Structure 1
Amino acid sequence: MSDSQTAKDTARAFYESYNGRDLDASFEKYISTELVNHVMGGTYDRTAWLTVDKALFPAFDDFGFTVLDQVAEGDKVATRYRLGGTHTGEFVGIPASGKTAFLTGTAVDRVADGRIVEHWADLDFTGFLQQLTAGAPTTTSATGATAAATRTTDEPLRRLADEHFRLANAHDLDGLVALHAPGFVSHEPQGDVGIEWYREVIGAFFASFPDATLTPVNTVVAEDRLVLHFETVGTHTGAEFYGIPATGKRVRFAEIRVRRIEDGRFAEHWGLYDQATVLGQLQ
């Protein structure tokens, strides 16, 4: 069995073990006691991770965890997932609401000797809590692409990733848009959107943060999937950002994006943007 298949199997087994509800045993089996957890700037250690996630079970009687997609290369594996259910008990101080809520996220894990030793994650925890207090559940496609995947080799995908970061750091919006297929679809919490939405959102961010730079952290490639894990840093010296005039403050945040490649271009996208973290840094 290849290293990538071992990493993939280990990560899947860990995340699907949530459905068995015995996280003490799962962490003991799959999570190294020497875990390096990069979530929340490294302040969210193994114990905190276990404690928070165990609180999900008494709060959601019908709790379920679904692995939506995985991409593995070497000792690293990216897992896109969805979890949640009906809010029937208190969770992080929020009384039972009876609402259905789902959290979506993407994790990148490094596996050694059958255990996860390093962990990064990009998840919409703020949106999850908002569903419990204010309204409609977020829906996420669990099927991925329905068309047959176009097989590619690793190198073209790596070159595509390099070109994406080069154009993004040059703030070349036209160049970035050209990397996308005409029928590009981005699966966002509010629903599926196309390339014009992407142009508008990215263009607005560049206008607000004229010095924004993207630094790759992990790039994972397999078949027609490309996972881009990167950190964005920028100073708010330009246009208003979500109605906030230029503050001169610097923001730093990480993102994990999963993209399907077709004929050498981005055809489909899944990912999250932690708006609350960014806005909090501008306060």
Structure 2
Amino acid sequence: MVETSLTAVLRERASLQPDDTAFTFVDYEQDWDGVAESVTWPQLYRQVCTIAEQLKLSLSPGDRAVILAPQGLDYVLAFLGALHAGVIAVPLSVPLGGVSDERVDSVIRDASPTAVLTTSSVVKSVASYFETEGGEFSAPLIEIDLLKQETPSRSAGDDPIEGAIAYLQYTSGSTRNPAGVMITHENLQTNYEQLIAGYFADRDGIPPFDSTLVSWLPLYHDMGLVLGVCAPILGGYSSVLMSPVAFLQRPARWMHLLASYSSAFSAAPNFAFELAARKTSDEDMAGFDLGNVHTILSGSERYTWPR
């Protein structure tokens, strides 16, 4: 058995940190200034168990389920619920029509998923997407936000065997067709240890007890998923998420969230720093202090020196 599977650690967080906030999603679509929704570790674990229990009614361990859901807590629940049920998650973005859907098309053909995990807010558009594909895909569409409303009868999910695949992370496909990389729970633990060692080298790789991860990175990309979802569970600190669109609309939102939490840390591609500097005014930052921000890493694309 894997002693440090992601959902086994989540179970421990629910027991040892019952009052701590696990995840917060700030929704800027509902309100320009943002509406925050949070879950504690016990609340998160109960919802994950509920979803896993429901998934096991129609899916078997080792089945693949693609996630086509908007950025938010339901995406986190879909991912963790699949893992807890022994289902191999395949994180993807919601098809919007256009060039970006080519990656979704390619991944779905390659992964041959048994189910699609989505939400009631986008299920119609997801269904329409598959209809336009000629009806070749017949796997059920499962609305995660409806599953979590069920009452769990047990803590569904067994600890995975050593080397079991947790999820498939597909490459961007910028140079060729996206390729699925098999990620195990052991891979996640190693990735986390390397990540935290880099962030907190000044503390021997140990995050401050009040650390908060702030991220707008898409959860279907490797850096966004590991940094925004997996690492906070393994490290036991809070994760504050927003959508990439919300950041692009107003980069100051990223700065505001960083300033709102103690020992905040984050990461972003190189372009985000230039965009934030160019589109964030002194007026935007009035009353906000970034003095408590610990580290912001730059990654996922080539770094360019400011001119």
TM interval, short-chain normalised: under 0.3
Larger strand percent = 1
Give TM-score, length-normalised by structure 2: 0.24
More contact order relative to length (CA 8 Å, sep ≥ 6): 2
Larger helix percent = 2
